[in-house]
Amino acid sequence: MRDVAIVGVGSTQFGRAQWSLLKMMCEASNDAIVDAGIGERKIDAVYVANMGASRNNRMAGLSSGLVDRMNLYPHTVSETIENGPASGASAIKHGVHSVASGYCDLVLVCGGERMQEVNNFEATEFVSYLSHRYAEYPYGVTLPSLAGMFTRLYMERYGVEARHLAMVAIKNHLNGAKNKKAHLRIPITMEGILTGPDALNNNPWIAEPLRFFDCCPVSDGSSAVLLAPAEMVKEFKKTPVLIAGMGQATDSQAVQDRPDPTELTAVRMAAERAFAMAKLTPKDIDVAELHDAFTILEIVESEECGFFKKGEGHKALERGETQIGGKLPINPSGGLKSRGHPVGNTGVSQIVELVLQLRGEAGDYQVPKQPKHGFAVNFGGFGNNVVATVLKRGV
Amino acid sequence: MRDVAIVGVGSTQFGRAQWSLLKMMCEASNDAIVDAGIGERKIDAVYVANMGASRNNRMAGLSSGLVDRMNLYPHTVSETIENGPASGASAIKHGVHSVASGYCDLVLVCGGERMQEVNNFEATEFVSYLSHRYAEYPYGVTLPSLAGMFTRLYMERYGVEARHLAMVAIKNHLNGAKNKKAHLRIPITMEGILTGPDALNNNPWIAEPLRFFDCCPVSDGSSAVLLAPAEMVKEFKKTPVLIAGMGQATDSQAVQDRPDPTELTAVRMAAERAFAMAKLTPKDIDVAELHDAFTILEIVESEECGFFKKGEGHKALERGETQIGGKLPINPSGGLKSRGHPVGNTGVSQIVELVLQLRGEAGDYQVPKQPKHGFAVNFGGFGNNVVATVLKRGV
């Protein structure tokens, strides 16, 4: 089995895209190719991470479309990989297997999602297709409503308060404001969204106890990474980043099937598997991108992944440990909350952001003392198919 | 790189399913697991081949749903692989890479499609999402209309006649009538569909020169294969079948971009790559399952894959060489034409059928002199992303 490294990254602006899905994906892909400097080398495969093109964009065979637009036929082969909102990390995993096996040398993994072709109600309906077909969906369950119930239980059991949820949003908006590619570059304050006289107007309920600013936006965007065998990294321009560990695990699809619905078992197990493969521990991690589709998730994931004890994530947050400059910066890019959440793409964008951090190229939101180890959690469904990744600067 | 073998296969009835998509997929998957006899061994990954669940069945994260229904969480991880109507072979390819790399031992690949939740007009519209977004789709192009234009050109250039197209349908319906799991078990005759007084009633135009019986049906169905490293095959019950070669290639998405639209370059290149990996030639193949979504495709693929010279496939067909008992039996299972075409599943079902042939378990449609080498072509879009597979009995 060969080790696999990331030799190039690229990303579009996140937000309401002016361009078609394929044009966005071409932009991110070309950026990754130029970033790596591949010269005359051929790309053996393109794996696309996407969740909704056949429903929201009326496009099937999206990966073949990308190969066509990038003029990579006939040599380059392709597939689309879907694992709900964890599609991005899953597509990278498939790229890793293809390179590790020796079947491919260069694999381009491109995530892309263009949500604006449907309205926000339709987008929420589409995402609710992730819920259990008989146990959840017919009762009108949506992902925000599941997250609301989960949050209430967590608040009651562990003493998490509304202000802690707001702190996640404030931190991530502050970070995202410094990230030129983020969707919501709007600094927000505790007074504005929670304690001030206009708070309820500014920040209405979505699924109580979750408010507007506890939920990530519906975004368009595309990101890409170029994978190569570790033995080839010297042929490329930039500092390589090793995929030191990848772990994945599953959980029941219906949340009501879980013995304790406040446990995110698949997150814990995916992280343990990723750390075991990397032969590292949570203490070794210098920067993390967690899947904060809802503010509560950043807190709980920071516990399940072993960075803080169960029930203490919100205390570490309150102490400022997860800010840029803190002990373990979480979501310096702005996270899903501010950078945005083009669902099928998100896992790729998390890895792109970590690579920029490990290379010291994150600019205004660079974590101090150029980090060596990065960590990401990409969360599918309501935690029923989760992928964790450990990255290491150098090979 | 480890060699990879198929140690178990399973399949549902094809046609109009009485059950939900996930129930069908469970049935095929369980059959494959029982067929292999895995005992206490764990399945490391489930890769699902599906094209339309998020649009036609309102289900995203389908692979996670299957892991849930089969009660395989938390250990077993999963993704859905989409490559249009070539999704099935593509999902098997990803399984091969995961096992070959050493990341996984047992990988279950399950294809499934349930088309009946939309009507036939909607199904044709959905499949047309494979066409080029700007060069084809807005002009009302559908896959049958592309196939019609392709057929006309081929007939004019190579002397293929309507009766040759009908011969493909007649042969495949005759074969499928013997396959208990086939969708259309209706023997048809030249008189009934082409030369008789009721032919136009029985067999109306779809996209001239293609008639009703030149097009595959819209089917529901699921098939599954269980993959394992070749070094482990002795642990399972059945004769193992080695995945001796897999090849894939791409072409322009818009057919009008091709220098010669009668050439299926990606089919030719995918076959060449598969044969090169297997260190075999077309002469070594004893039985083939080709992607006869339209009758013309079986003829042209039989040429592009090297079984017959360009422009001579219809002559071999006329001589009976592709019948069960002929020199190279093609589509003894009935093919897409009669067995059916649940789009995302088809590539898996082709491999299941070949495994049955190589094991000598195909019953009434068994090819004589138990074949040793099988070959499949799974065709995505209008030939813009094609996967070819060479199978070999034993490891």
Q: Which tokens sit at B179?
A: 């396959």
Count: domains in chain B: 1
B388 in any annotated domain = no
A62 in any annotated domain = yes
Instruction: Please compute the mean of the pLDDT values over residues A85-110 and round it to a whole number.
Output: 98
**Per-residue pLDDT tens digits for A211-256:** 999 999 999 999 999 999 999 999 999 999 999 999 999 999 999 9
- Using the CB atoms, write b or e for A228-253: b if 16+ within 10 Å: bbbebbeebebbbbbbbbbbbbbbbb
A339 in any annotated domain = no
Distance of CA B270 to the CA centre of its chain: 14
B26 in any annotated domain = yes
Q: What percent of chain A has pLDDT over 70?
A: 100
Instruction: Please compute the mean of the pLDDT values over residues A18-30 and round it to a whole number.
Output: 97
Distance of CA B263 to the CA centre of its chain: 20
Say which residues have a Cβ less than 8 Å from residue B32's Cβ, sequence separation at least 6: B8, B9, B10, B108, B110, B224, B225, B226
> pTM for the full model?
0.98
B126–A385: do the CB atoms touch at under 8 Å? no
A29 touches A352 (CB < 8 A): no
B59–A381: do the CB atoms touch at under 8 Å? no
* Bond before B259 cis per omega within 30 degrees: no
B194 touches B213 (CB < 8 A): no
Provide the domain limits for residue B110.
4-119+220-235
**Closest to B51 measured CA to CA, from B17, B18, B86, B101:** B86
C-alpha distance from residue B263 to each of A373, B146, B255 (Å): 50, 14, 10
Å from B76 to nearest chain A CA?
7
Q: In chain B, what is the straight-line distance between the N-terminal and C-terminal CA atoms, in Å?
A: 15
B74–A133: do the CB atoms touch at under 8 Å? no
What residues of chain B lie within 8 A of the CB of A95, using their CB? Answer: none
B257 in any annotated domain = no
Q: What is the pLDDT of residue B120?
A: 86
Å from A76 to nearest chain B CA?
7
**How far is A278 from B212, CA to CA, in rounded Å?**
57
Asked if ipTM goes beyond 0.85, one says: yes
**Per-residue pLDDT tens digits for B191-240:** 999 999 999 999 999 999 999 999 999 999 999 999 999 999 999 999 99
Residue of chain A with shortest Cα separation from B81: A81
**Per-residue pLDDT tens digits for A275-327:** 999 999 999 999 999 999 999 999 999 999 999 999 999 999 999 999 999 99
B65–A127: do the CB atoms touch at under 8 Å? no
Q: What is the pLDDT of residue A329?
A: 98
A38 in any annotated domain = yes
Asked whether residue B69 carries a pLDDT value surpassing 90, the answer given is yes
**Per-residue pLDDT tens digits for B75-132:** 999 999 999 999 999 999 999 999 999 999 999 999 999 999 999 889 999 999 999 9
Q: Which tokens sit at B360?
A: 């000598």
**How far is B146 from B321, CA to CA, in rounded Å?**
28
**How far is B185 from B188, CA to CA, in rounded Å?**
10
Residue of chain B with shortest Cα separation from A66: B253
B133–A65: do the CB atoms touch at under 8 Å? yes
What is the crossing angle of helices B87-101 and B346-359, to 10°?
70
Mutate to test the interface with A, among B42, B54, B248 (most CBs of A within 10 A): B54
A54–B59: do the CB atoms touch at under 8 Å? no
Query: Pairing state of beta strands A385-393 and A373-380?
Result: antiparallel
Q: What is the pLDDT of residue B193?
A: 98
**Per-residue pLDDT tens digits for B323-382:** 999 999 999 999 999 999 999 999 999 999 999 999 999 999 999 999 999 999 999 999
B360 in any annotated domain = no
C-alpha distance from residue B25 to each of A36, B30, B66, B217 (Å): 41, 8, 7, 20
Give the domain CATH number at B62: 3.40.47.10
Q: How many CB atoms lie within 10 A of CB A27?
A: 20
Q: How many CB atoms lie within 10 A of CB A259?
A: 7
What residues of chain A lie within 8 A of the CB of B252, using their CB? Answer: 68, 73
B33 in any annotated domain = yes
Q: What is the pLDDT of residue A120?
A: 86
What residues of chain A lie within 8 A of the CB of B60, using their CB? Answer: 51-52, 82, 84, 126-127, 129-130
Q: Which tokens sit at B233?
A: 């095959």
Q: What is the pLDDT of residue B150?
A: 98
B307 touches B328 (CB < 8 A): yes
**Averaged pLDDT of chain B:** 97
A133–B55: do the CB atoms touch at under 8 Å? no
B55–A51: do the CB atoms touch at under 8 Å? no
